[in-house]
Amino acid sequence: MTRTLITGGLVITAADELHADVLIEHGRVVALAAPETQEWTADRVIDASQKYVIPGGVDAHTHMELPFGGTFASDTFETGTRAAAWGGTTTIVDFAVQVKGESLHAGLNAWMEKADGNCAIDYAFHVIMSDVNETTLREMPKLIEHGVSSFKLFMAYPGVFFSDDGQILRAMQVAGDAGGLIMMHAENGIAIDVLVEQALARGETDPRYHGEVRKALLEAEATHRAIQLARVAGAPLYVVHVSAQEAVAELAAARDMGLPVFGETCPQYLFLSTDNLAEPDFEGAKYVCSTPLRPKEHQAALWRGLRTNDLQVVSTDHCPFCFVGQKDLGRGDFSKIPNGLPGVENRMDLLHQAVVDGHISRRRWIEIACATPARMFGLYPQKGTIAPGADADVVIYDPHATQTLSAETHHMNVDYSAYEGKTVTGQVETVLSRGEVVIDQRKYVGHAGRGVFVPRGLCQYLG
Ligand SMILES: NC(=O)NCCC(=O)O
Ligand SMILES: [Zn+2]
Ligand SMILES: [Zn+2]
């Protein structure tokens, strides 16, 4: 089947909302036309009356199979990308991890192997630099040429992923020269580790102390420091998983100065809080991630940041660990709870709920979840929009359906939902990935291996 026609829907992109029919041929969008003005024929016609027709989501921050804290994130590329498709996401950008002492290329190759032949949707990679040194710095321009144009550094996790300020500065200098983008996990990990040790010595071992020691001020301080280092290096900066209002203020100040500084937040920081981390009977472990969930008061600053464009992207940081057998590793010591939350399936719906709740407009929904992540990471307009020439990654979205989020019904390979029992308005109905239907009226009809690696260009907000 090569020609598909989607009729009668409201097409929403970051730029426009228009009632239009969409013609798809050979995996690409070829034309849009006002309803009933065209006489196109097609092998398949999808009726989208009363529905939205939106670009497939681009989730620029996932961790399938991430090794962390002595275990592995529970979604494989197969299960995680299938769940992403269920949730209306058609592209993920995952993180290949450089093992200390090995090359960046070896890390990338290892992650390519994990993904190859297993993905339901398209995928790309960033690289986590665990070890910034002469050799890995030399590799960065070559990776950029090969479509891996962003590098994550950590100011947290001393002894694991941590880079010191000198290493960060050097990586930023190379990225700045070569057109790469540094993604920063901005938390002062050295100070946090002191507070962890002191908390444990006081017998404060419950999950909620994870949130207490990872102070908002230490996120803000690291964010500020990362911005100054990027200025010195003459490099752009993308700060991942921003959760503290003080960190948003640092980003806003930098952007007011005209600096090429960008910020990402995640649904968990917009919808969950330290109240969840404080749930009794170790249930709080389900909500342990870094940066941590914050008191509810921080949410207003995050929503405001998304409206004012001081924050540009919402990704999931999908990094699931089962409650039984994985989060358990930290019973009696919160610092041993594997960090991360599931969410790749929930992002598009939760952000639609934000539209319903009046936090953002429909076009802003598509901008922060599809178009901007695609532009930020060099995938636009192949991904992130519905326009002639774009990949036909398209979601038929029912804005009137209601659903209750639950581990009973989700497709992520994890034994709990961070949003268990939450009712949201809106649901993915049908999903096309490069013109092929992978979710057909809430039935999975895709298969592992149809997703392909997508080499990326440079960040499209620079130069
Ligand atoms: N965020 C988190 O808690 N886990 C995933 C790794 C990271 O993004 O730092
Ligand atoms: Zn991180
Ligand atoms: Zn992450």
Q: What is the pLDDT of residues 79-113, one digit of tens each?
A: 999 999 999 999 999 999 999 999 999 999 999 99
d(CA 325, CA 285): 12
pTM to 2 decimals? 0.98
Ligand 1 neighbourhood includes 144 CB (under 6 angstroms): no
Per-residue pLDDT tens over the stretch 322-349? 999 999 999 999 999 999 999 999 999 9
Task: Report whether 180 contacts 214 (CB < 8 A).
Answer: no
- Strands 57-62 and 89-97, how do they pair? parallel
Residue with the two structure tokens 């949730």? 87
Peptide bond into 381 cis (omega under 30): yes
CA of 185 from ligand 1 middle (Å) equals 8
Q: What are phi and psi of 265, to 5 degrees?
A: -125, 180
What does the pLDDT average to over 343-367? 98
DSSP character for 411? Answer: -
Whether the complex's predicted ipTM surpasses the cut of 0.90: yes
3-state secondary structure of 8: strand
pLDDT tens per residue, range 419-433: 999 999 999 999 999
233/60 Cα distance (integer angstroms): 24
Q: Are 186 and 246 in contact (CB under 8 A)?
A: no
CB 243 less than 6 A from any atom of ligand 1: no
Please tell me if the CB atom of residue 61 comes closer than 6 angstroms to any atom of ligand 1.
no
Task: Kindly state the percentage of the chain with pLDDT values over 70.
Answer: 100
Number of alpha carbons in the 13 Å side-chain half-sphere of residue 191: 15
Determine if ligand 1 sits within 6 Å of the CB of residue 290: yes
Protein fold of 56-376: TIM Barrel (3.20.20)
Q: Is there a contact between 97 and 111 (Cβ–Cβ < 8 Å)?
A: yes
| Percentage of the residues of the chain whose pLDDT score is greater than 90 | 99
| Residue to probe by mutation, ligand 1, list 126, 241, 335, most atoms within 8 Å of CB | 241
Q: How many Å lie between the centroid of ligand 3 and the Cα of residue 249?
A: 21
Q: What is the mean pLDDT of residues 216-231?
A: 98
Beta strands (DSSP E) in 198-297 are 237-239, 261-265
Judge if the beta carbon of residue 315 lies within 6 A of ligand 1.
Answer: no
Please tell me the distance from the alpha carbon of residue 189 to that of residue 191, in angstroms, as a whole number: 5
Could you give the angle at which helices 165-178 and 216-233 cross, rounded to 10 degrees? 50
Mean pLDDT of 150-161: 97
pLDDT of residue 1: 56
For residue 328, what are its two tokens?
């358990």
Of the ligands numbered here, which is closest to the C-alpha atom of 317?
A: 3
**What ranges do the domains of the chain cover?**
56-376
Nearest-CA residue for atom 1 of ligand 1: 290
